[in-house]
Structure formats: C-alpha cells, structure tokens
Amino acid sequence: MIQFKQEVCGDLEIALRREWLETNGLGGFASSTIIGLNTRRYHGLLVAAMKPPVGRLVMLSKLEETLFIDGQSFDLAANRYPGAIHPQGFRYLKQFRLDPFPIFTYEVKGIEIEKTVLMVHGENSTVVQYELKKINHPESPNHLALEVRPLIAFRDYHSTTHENGAIRTAIDEKPGLASITPYEGLPSLHLAHNAAELNQTGDWYRNFEYDAERERGLDFSEDLFNPFVLRFDLHFGRQASVIASTEKREVANATEYRHAAITRRRSAVASSPVSDSFAEKLAASAEQYIVSRGDGKTVIAGYHWFSDWGRDTMIALPGLTLLTGKHELARSILRTFAKSVNQGMLPNRFPDGSEAPEYSTVDATLWFFEAARAFLEYSGDVDFVRAELYPVFADIIDWHTRGTRYAIKVDSNGLLTSGELDVQLTWMDAKVGDWVVTPRRGKPVEIQALWYNALCVMQDLAGRFGDEADQKRYRGIAIVASCSFNRLFWNEKDACLYDVVNEGSPDTAIRPNQIFAVSLVHSMLSPDRAKSVVAKVEKHLLTPYGLRSLAPSDPQYRGRYIGGPAERDSAYHQGAVWPWLIGPFITAYVKVNGGREPARAQSGEWLKPLHDHLSDGGLGHISEIFDGDAPHRPRGCIAQAWSVAEVLRAYVEDVKGLRPNVVK
C-alpha cells in the first residue's frame, strides 16, 4: 500500500507530482493525480484501447462530484482553469491510498466518504464507487446526496478536444444505464449506475488547463462536455456506483469486479520472488505492462503514450515475466514477435493505428536472442525454443550475414555494421527534423556486444540440438568478432570502450552503451578490461536513479530534460538519466567483483532511491527518465516497462543472488 495523508493531499505542488495508474490488460488505462486534478491530456477515467493494445481514445475524462449535506453543497473535484484552481475539493481530501487501486477519502463536516477507482481486466471498463464510511458529527444530517457529472472528451489520446457543434447530445436512457454516442464513427460510452435520478444537461466546460502539457510545449487547453448529471442518495452500507464502459454493463456487477481486481492484485504481489515491499511493489506493477495483441501477448513500453516496441519488450521480458514465474506469458510474447520477424528483423514498434509494423531497429532483433536465452534458463522449455524460435533465429543470422534493411550486415571482420543517412537504428534514436541528435552509424559498441552474445546463444542452441555444422559456424564468426572487437574498440587512453567505430575517428564519448559488453552473459572482454569499463561508467554516469546517457564533462551534455519537443529530444540521449540502465550496470558490477557479498550490498544501496521513487511520480512504477543534473527530477513517461523490469531483475538476481535454479 502507498498512502498520503492530508498534509500531502492539500499541498498542490507535492500532490500534483504523484499520479496513479490503472490498466486493463488491453492497452487501455485510467489515470490522474492523487487529488483528481488532470494535468495531462492523457489523464482520464476511461482511456479505451479500441484496437488492443492501440487505438486509444479518451472517452471519459473525469467525474465531477458535489456532496450535498442538508442542501448545502461541497465540491469534491479540482481543475485548473486560466489563473485559478476551481473547485478546490482537495481541501476535503483526508487521505489517498493505493490499496491496491486508488482510494480517495474525503471528509466534510465530519462526514467521511470513500471513492474507489478500478479497471476491469480484459475490458474497456472503469468502475467508480462512493461509500459513506462514517459521520463524526454530534447531529446527523437529515439528508445526504451526491451529484456526479460525467465530463467526456471522445478523442485520440494524443490530442485535445474543443467545443463544437458536431457533438450529438442525445442520451439513450434505460433504468440503470445511460448511453451516449457523441460523434459518428466513434464507439458509444455506456454508464451503468444506481443513481436515484438522471437529469440531462448538455453543457460545455471550457478551458481546462494541463500543466504537464504546457511544460512539454504542447497544446494544454481543452473543453469537455457534460451530457447529464447523476444524483445519488447516500446511505450506510450502500455504494453509489458508476461503470463507464464501451459495453453495456450492469451496475450490480460492480462489487464482483472489485473482488476480482483485489484477487488479481494479490496474485501479482504473491508472484514476487522476494518477500519484501520493494520486490512486491515491482512485481505488482510488472503485470500492468502485459497486454493483448490479437491472440497473443505483448508489452506496452510505457504509460501514458507508448505502444508496444520490440526493443523494450525483449529487454523487459525477463523482469516482467520470468522472475515472477509467468512463463506462459513469456512464451506468448516471444511467439507474437517471432511471427512478426521480416527479412531477419524484429519490429521496432507497432504503430497506434492499423499501419504495418516499423522495422527501423538494429538492436531489437539482437535483444530477441537474449530474451530467449533467459526464457530457456528460467523455464527449461527446450521444445518451444527448438520448434518456434531456433529456425527464426537461424534465419535472422543468415539475413544479417548477407545483409538486410538499412545496411545492416556483417563486415569482413565479423562485426555488425549498420546505418543509413538520417536513420536512427539504436536505442539512442532521437531525431529533430533532419537533425540526428546522436549519430551512431557504423559499429555501435552495444550492437557488437549483442551480436557476439547472439552468436554464442546460437552456438549453444546448435550444440544442444545436434546441429554440429552450424555450431561450428557460429563459433567461428564469434571468435572473429571477439578478436576484432578487442582490437578496434578498446580506448587505451581512457581505459574504456569507444562508443562507435566507423570509417572515421572512433567516438570517444563516454556513454552507458559500453556496459553491455560486460553485463551480457557472453562477453568479449578480459576481466581487467571489464572491470575498467565498470569503473569508468560508475565514475562518470552513475546517479541515484540510473545511468546518464552522456558524461557531464562532454560539451554536448544536457542536464535537464525540459522545453518543447525539439528541446527535449536534444537532451533525451545527451545526459538524461535512464533508470533501466541501472539493471545492466549492477549486473556488470556484481559480475566483475565475483558476485561477492560486498558488491551485492553496494548494489542494494544504489537501488534505495528507486525504492523511494515508487511513491513519487507514477505510484508503484518507475519513470522513463530523470534529469541528468541534481535533484534528478523524473521526466518522460510516469511508468516505463523496462525501468520496472530491469530494476526488479537486478534486485532479485544480483542483489539477492537468486538465479533461475533457486527462484521459486
């Protein structure tokens, strides 16, 4: 449980930094701040995934509540309008807790009301319930009522909506169910309820302002439509309930949905391989990134705005599924992506719409091998790997050997070269117009580490499956690659690895990419060189929240991730801290120190700030990035799959020393 008392809820600056997130396993979600004041265009009570896991629409932005005590009104909502916060219902917010879903406790004149928000797994449905908990007043009121006004947006979650004459205001009303289809071609919103009465309104609420979008240099103003108002009589033991859904639901099912959600969250917590609050919170959060794609499963890279990306999925897969014993989910994810391999390449991402997958990546495909290696180590499912992955992997190696898209091809020295003008293929892929922020054409260091690792994985699999000819072939390419790598990439002057080697001078920028040459199971470096790389990364890049993407001493370093899209993209991989990188760093650190207890203990200390971060930002989650400069404010997505996954993996495998043969 994560909870905040009135001193936090009543402090706008502190409260608005803390955001809750509910997901539905389809890519849809509900999210806001702990005081219900929306600060993002992505905030909403029902953001539905109409083409799971994408096609996301903000259907129901929020519910505005007013409590009536013997006719006197008290607004519980909060919004930012130009120059004002109105109303200021957070003044009555006694407590917010995530237990296991968002629960808001309001107290007005001694009357305590609890509001609960949860999503139904596998449905585009959000349940909101209000319950009268206690009356701490010498004179009980004669009448308590609650008015709830739905505010709808009905737009793509990347945009905003504004007052218009095209909206359809008609309501299809039946006992306990109100439906509205505001725009042709969009789905209907159904609100099941147990209100005493419903009154049609048809009002526009104008000029909501979203602070986070203003900071990001994007459209931050929106108008929302209120089709009707629901009025509930409040009584002890009787919940006032609303189910907002793309399907027609019955409000009588609200309690059943709540119990199912609690059971599911308990199961997620119980899947943690370590029984402490840090691991259990991460294990509970890990489940929220696993979503459906067709008949299979995939991984949402981050909330609120990412879809499923090949690179992120493969990096996150061990921490999200294998450590928690969800081998069937891992199998489904690997199968989903194996079916999408084209010309020896894994998709970079699946777009939000119905467009074809994008294949503009060199590293996602290589991370596929590492994810499969980890899957086999944890599950022991040799038959699946042999039948469904090994043939795909063999085809990938062949494509890379003879050449595939974007000039990705094995060079004569056994190393993998890649890249075309104005195309970003590695994870450092920011681009502003025609400006490639981090040009890494040629031979990036982590690509060579991943390529060598993939060859060694294939050598092991070929040997296991009796494929002696290919086992020898993979070993031969790997040996050549290793010799070339050590000859070309070692920076003797700085005692570390170059970031990129190409036809010009090697790139001497100190970046975190070299850490993978140590952290991956199969490494090309000698123990002395590996230890030197870890020391260099620790000295220049390590922060309390992860690794910087560039050393502060570099002239190109940008310490703060702020401003409009162009300004932020220019800092994305030029100094921003990436928490997911703390995973491979800790693995490498423990590895070069022989797995001894002092190294594990030190690694545990390094992770403590991220434990604290679970209660600051996206609650229970780890942010996408942080500023490179102190105090390292969280930025980007509030919840990032590989951040959660890699921190959990490093904590379990390296700090706690629990490897597959002993993980329950």
* CATH number of the domain that residue 164 is part of: 2.70.98
**Lowest mean pLDDT: which of 347-351, 393-397, 422-426, 496-500?**
347-351
Whether residue 291 is found in the same domain as residue 195? no
Q: Is residue 628 part of a domain?
A: yes
Q: How far apart are CA 397 and CA 400, in angstroms?
A: 5
Q: Is residue 662 part of a domain?
A: no
DSSP secondary structure letter of residue 218 = S
pLDDT value at residue 354? 64
The residue count of the chain comes to 664
**End-of-domain residue from the set 263, 282, 302:** 263
pLDDT, tens digit, 9 for 90 and up, residues 32-82? 999 999 999 999 999 999 999 999 999 999 999 999 999 999 999 999 999
Whether residue 564 is found in the same domain as residue 498? yes
Average pLDDT of the chain, as a whole number: 96
Read off the pLDDT band of 661 (50, 70, 90): low
- Mean pLDDT to the nearest integer, 179-190: 96
pLDDT value at residue 662? 41
Whether residue 152 is found in the same domain as residue 189? yes
Domain housing 489: 271-655
pTM: 0.96
Q: Is residue 664 part of a domain?
A: no
pLDDT, tens digit, 9 for 90 and up, residues 602-642? 999 999 999 999 999 999 999 999 999 999 999 999 999 99
Burial-class residue 49 by CB neighbours within 10 Å (0-12, 13-18, 19+). Answer: buried
- Mean pLDDT to the nearest integer, 398-410: 97
**End-of-domain residue from the set 195, 228, 263:** 263
pLDDT value at residue 353? 62
Q: Is residue 661 part of a domain?
A: no
Nearest C-alpha neighbor of 332 from the set 360, 293, 363, 281? 293
Whether residue 160 is found in the same domain as residue 105? yes
- The helix or strand, by DSSP H or E, that contains position 93, with its residue range, turns out to be strand 93-98
Whether residue 508 is found in the same domain as residue 604? yes
Whether residue 239 is found in the same domain as residue 292? no
Residue 227 exposure: Cα atoms within 13 Å on the Cβ side? 24
Whether residue 308 is found in the same domain as residue 200? no
**End-of-domain residue from the set 263, 282, 298:** 263
Output phi, psi for 88, to 5 deg: -125, 55
Read off the pLDDT band of 421 (50, 70, 90): confident
pLDDT, tens digit, 9 for 90 and up, residues 558-595? 999 999 999 999 999 999 999 999 999 999 999 999 99
Q: Is the pLDDT of residue 664 over 60?
A: no
Whether residue 86 is found in the same domain as residue 228? yes
pLDDT, tens digit, 9 for 90 and up, residues 212-252? 999 999 999 999 999 999 999 999 989 999 999 999 999 99
Whether residue 281 is found in the same domain as residue 367? yes
Q: Is residue 119 part of a domain?
A: yes
Q: Is residue 412 part of a domain?
A: yes
- Mean pLDDT to the nearest integer, 255-272: 96
Helices (H), 403-526: 445-464, 468-489, 516-519
Q: Which residues pair with 346 in a beta bridge?
A: none
Cis ω for the linkage preceding 631 (within 30 of 0): yes
Q: Is residue 163 part of a domain?
A: yes
Contact at 8 Å (CB) between 292 and 53? Answer: yes
Q: Is residue 256 part of a domain?
A: yes
Whether residue 141 is found in the same domain as residue 275? no
Whether residue 648 is found in the same domain as residue 604? yes
Q: How far apart are CA 621 and CA 611, in angstroms?
A: 10
- The helix or strand, by DSSP H or E, that contains position 86, with its residue range, turns out to be strand 84-88
- Mean pLDDT to the nearest integer, 476-484: 98
Tokens of 594: 């022989």
**How many domains are contained in the chain?**
2
* CATH number of the domain that residue 423 is part of: 1.50.10.10
Q: Is the pLDDT of residue 352 over 90?
A: no
Whether residue 593 is found in the same domain as residue 618? yes
pLDDT value at residue 436? 87
